[in-house]
Amino acid sequence: MAGGSKTSKSSKSTQQSISEKTLSGVGNLIKLLPTGTVFLFQFLNPVLSNNGHCSATNKYFTSILIGICGFSCCFSSFTDSYTGSDGNTHYGIATKTGLWPSTASDSVNLSSYKLRIGDFVHAFFSLIVFSVVSLLDTNTVDCFYPSFESTQKVLLMVLPAVVGAISSGVFMMFPNNRHGIGYPSSQTTSEQSLS
């Protein structure tokens, strides 16, 4: 009995350690994603996946949620903002010629906001990071591939750290200067830092 209790305590301690490392790794990955998208996924995934007890309808809705959130992660890499001649912050989508739509932009050179290779790199790696976060989520695993749960612990420890390290390295090589939808414009940020 005493030996069984020590093994049980040791097993619980190991599981807690794995959980803490996993949450730390996933937490570091989430920092690379748009906050609103991650919040939306974390809020709706348990509801749509029925806490991992999926029927065909739950799988369908969970797949749609993952697709929409993945698209949002990519799309946010192509948005930016500026302070217009009217003094308000305006948002737009980066194109090959500049920012679109270009309302109240008399005092701003919108061609400086054109698409860059780094935008595509950020979009791709944001999608990879979101895929790791969403597909290794406990509710998603229980819903789509419940037999995977035994190897999930190992992947949850290793994969977020590897993807996070690679993504962070790539994001350092291609720094993101965009202030997309929901972020302050670059002019507003620089004005505040000078004050």
Number of domains in the chain: 1
Cβ atoms of 13 and 49 within 8 Å: the answer is no
Give the model's pLDDT for residue 185: 52
Q: Are strands 89-94 and 99-100 parallel, antiparallel or unpaired?
A: antiparallel
CB proximity list for 34: less than 8 A, separation 6 or greater: 72, 73, 76, 126, 180, 182
What's the average model confidence in pLDDT over 131-144?
A: 88
Would 26 be classed as within a structural domain? no
In a domain, 90, yes or no: yes
Q: Answer yes or no: is 179 within a domain.
A: yes
Which residue reads 């302050």 in tokens? 184
Residue 28 is predicted with a pLDDT of 56
Domain membership of residue 19 (yes or no) is: no
Give me the domain span that covers residue 40.
34-194
Dump pLDDT digits (tens) for 80-125: 888 777 878 788 899 998 888 877 677 788 888 899 998 999 899 9
Is the pLDDT assigned to residue 178 strictly greater than 70? yes
CB of 181 within 8 A of CB of 79? yes
Asked whether residue 23 is assigned to any structural domain, the reply reads: no
Q: What local confidence, expressed as pLDDT, does residue 194 receive?
A: 37
DSSP string for the chain: -HHHHHHHHHHHHHHHHHHHHHHHHHHHHHTTS-HHHHHHHHHHHHHHTGGG---HHHHHHHHHHHHHHHHHHHHHTTEEEEE-TTSSEEEEEE-SSSEES-TT-TTS-GGGG---HHHHHHHHHHHHHHHHHHHTSHHHHHHH-GGGHHHHHHHHHHHHHHHHHHHHHHHHHS------TTS--HHHHHHHHH-
Per-residue pLDDT reduced to its tens digit, 28-79: 556 667 778 888 999 999 999 999 898 999 999 999 999 999 999 899 889 8
The letter for the amino acid at 90 is H
- The pLDDT, as a whole number, for residue 15 is 47
28 belongs to a structural domain:
no
8 occurs within a structural domain:
no
- 176 inside domain: yes
